[in-house]
């Protein structure tokens, strides 16, 4: 049934927005509900585009609050890897359902995921009604090229069975956990099948030093030589990319996704150089990373951290302005992430903010969204013309929280 919201606020006007068949059929001051539409009064609520989480590991909600103050390697070796070895499909499904609920609640309608049992994440995404590009994490540090190749092809086959909300992707974990041979093959497969690729890159200074010692070049140059730097590539982190690498990433059309909260929590010792990336013309997006290292999936809260970290690192309060930070978080600064425009013919994916949100009552809306609001300001989340949250309520949330907690207990977390 077509769905029409009326009396919402957009750019100082009162507007209606009519959704039909998953797209925006009409939007503007004169748009009203047609006969037979489901009509929702959105009086006073700001209509805004949704956020894109460019890098996460959704099911890691199960690991939230576990070993969060440990250094990186003991955290991975003692808390994460032994438990991940026991994970089954149902664990990942309920962990990802919880992640989807948290993202819907805080205004994210699309995310990029790298995690075990990717088809369980895809099932969770479809049940939740949001969108995701999903890839199985690919490693061959302790296995062989053949095993990595079989696992990649198997997961792509499984992910291709899902509907239009799911985009299958390749997700080599990092340059220090995947061999040169495998990375080369992943680059070729991505080009042949036009598959997006997501990889962690230049998260720590040690990773850069090790890359130079082993391959004689910095990480972005290494990836480029293996054919992995293209307009289909997402580089998560990029904290230690230098200006020359940023120029190369820009030339190849690849995207860097900054994860400021996870970088600060794991204390990587640097800030993603956004002003240099902007000067080089590099595409940039924003991500939360997994709840194991953040611990929240509230991208709106992380957007404030992103903007503040940039200003602080540059010792310059004009290093990034609110409108630009908002563009990064909505995907408008990276063609691969892609913003969702509020216009006829676009997918009917959008947010309505709480009309009574106290932090949005005074001042410029964009500025308030970056510096004052968190995801709690979101009232209604719509994806493909379906209402996934209304008045801050998500159907079935109690069951999702209970099931995820039960799975975490089963794993001894």
The site for Zn ion (CB under 5 A) is made up of 289
Tell me whether residue 245 or residue 289 sits nearer to Zn ion (CB atom): 289
Distance separating alpha carbons of residues 172 and 160, to the nearest angstrom: 18
Distance separating alpha carbons of residues 163 and 121, to the nearest angstrom: 13
Tell me whether residue 87 or residue 247 sits nearer to Zn ion (CB atom): 87
Other beta carbons less than 10 A from residue 323's beta carbon: 12
Tell me whether residue 173 or residue 386 sits nearer to Zn ion (CB atom): 173
Tell me whether residue 91 or residue 289 sits nearer to Zn ion (CB atom): 289
Minimum CB separation of residue 99 from Zn ion in Å reads: 13
Q: How many residues does the chain have?
A: 413
Q: Which residues pair with 286 in a beta bridge?
A: 258
The interaxial angle of helices 145-159 and 118-128, nearest 10 deg, is 20
Minimum CB separation of residue 289 from Zn ion in Å reads: 5
Tell me whether residue 119 or residue 289 sits nearer to Zn ion (CB atom): 289
In eight-state DSSP terms, residue 136 is -
Which residues does 85 contact at the CB level (< 8 Å), separation at least 6? Answer: none
284, 260 Cβ separation under 8 angstroms: no
Minimum CB separation of residue 297 from Zn ion in Å reads: 13
Tell me whether residue 289 or residue 302 sits nearer to Zn ion (CB atom): 289
Minimum CB separation of residue 115 from Zn ion in Å reads: 9
Tell me whether residue 45 or residue 256 sits nearer to Zn ion (CB atom): 256
Minimum CB separation of residue 400 from Zn ion in Å reads: 23
130, 124 Cβ separation under 8 angstroms: no
Token pair in block for residue 47: 């209509």
Minimum CB separation of residue 235 from Zn ion in Å reads: 11
Residue with structure tokens 């990319």? Answer: 241
Token pair in block for residue 218: 């910095």
R_g over Cα of the chain = 21
Minimum CB separation of residue 375 from Zn ion in Å reads: 20
Nearest-CB residue for Zn ion = 289
378, 297 Cβ separation under 8 angstroms: no
DSSP letters for 197-212:
EEEEES-SHHHHHHHH
């Amino acid at each position: 049934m077509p769905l029409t919201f009326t009396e919402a606020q957009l750019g100082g006007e009162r507007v209606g927005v009519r959704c039909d068949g998953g797209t925006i059929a009409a939007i503007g001051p004169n748009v009203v509900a047609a006969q037979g539409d489901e009509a929702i009064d959105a009086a006073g609520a700001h209509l805004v585009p949704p956020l894109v989480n460019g890098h996460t590991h959704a099911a890691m909600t199960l690991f939230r609050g576990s070993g969060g103050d440990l250094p990186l390697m003991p955290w991975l070796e003692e808390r994460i890897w032994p438990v991940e070895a026991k994970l089954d499909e149902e664990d990942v499904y309920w962990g990802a359902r919880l992640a989807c609920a948290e993202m819907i609640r805080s205004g994210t309608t699309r995310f990029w995921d790298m995690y075990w049992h990717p088809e369980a994440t895809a099932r969770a995404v479809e049940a939740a009604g949001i969108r995701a590009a999903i890839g199985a994490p690919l490693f061959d540090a302790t296995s062989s090229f053949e095993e990595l190749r079989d696992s990649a092809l198997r997961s792509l086959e499984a992910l291709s069975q899902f509907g239009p909300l799911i985009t299958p992707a390749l997700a080599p974990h990092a340059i220090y956990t995947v061999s040169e041979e495998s990375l080369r093959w992943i680059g070729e497969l991505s080009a042949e099948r036009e598959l997006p690729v997501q990889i962690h890159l230049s998260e720590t200074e040690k990773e850069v030093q090790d890359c130079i010692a082993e391959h004689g070049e910095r990480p972005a140059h290494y990836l480029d030589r293996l054919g992995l730097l293209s307009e289909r590539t997402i580089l998560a982190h990029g904290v230690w990319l230098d200006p020359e690498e940023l120029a190369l990433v820009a030339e190849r059309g690849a995207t860097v996704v900054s994860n400021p909260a996870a970088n600060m929590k794991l204390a990587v010792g640097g800030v993603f150089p956004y002003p240099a990336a902007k000067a080089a013309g590099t595409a940039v997006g924003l991500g939360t990373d997994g709840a194991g290292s953040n611990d929240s999936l509230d991208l709106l809260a992380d957007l404030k951290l992103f903007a503040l970290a940039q200003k602080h690192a540059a010792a310059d309060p004009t290093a990034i302005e609110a409108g630009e930070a908002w563009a990064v978080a909505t995907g408008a600064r990276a063609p691969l992430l892609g913003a969702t425009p509020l216009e006829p013919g676009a997918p009917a994916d959008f947010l309505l903010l709480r009309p009574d949100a106290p932090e949005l009552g005074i001042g410029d809306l964009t500025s308030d969204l970056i510096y004052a609001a968190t995801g709690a300001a979101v009232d209604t989340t719509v994806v493909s013309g379906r209402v996934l949250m209304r008045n801050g309520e998500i159907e079935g949330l109690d069951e999702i929280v209970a099931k995820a907690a039960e799975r975490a207990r089963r794993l001894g977390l």
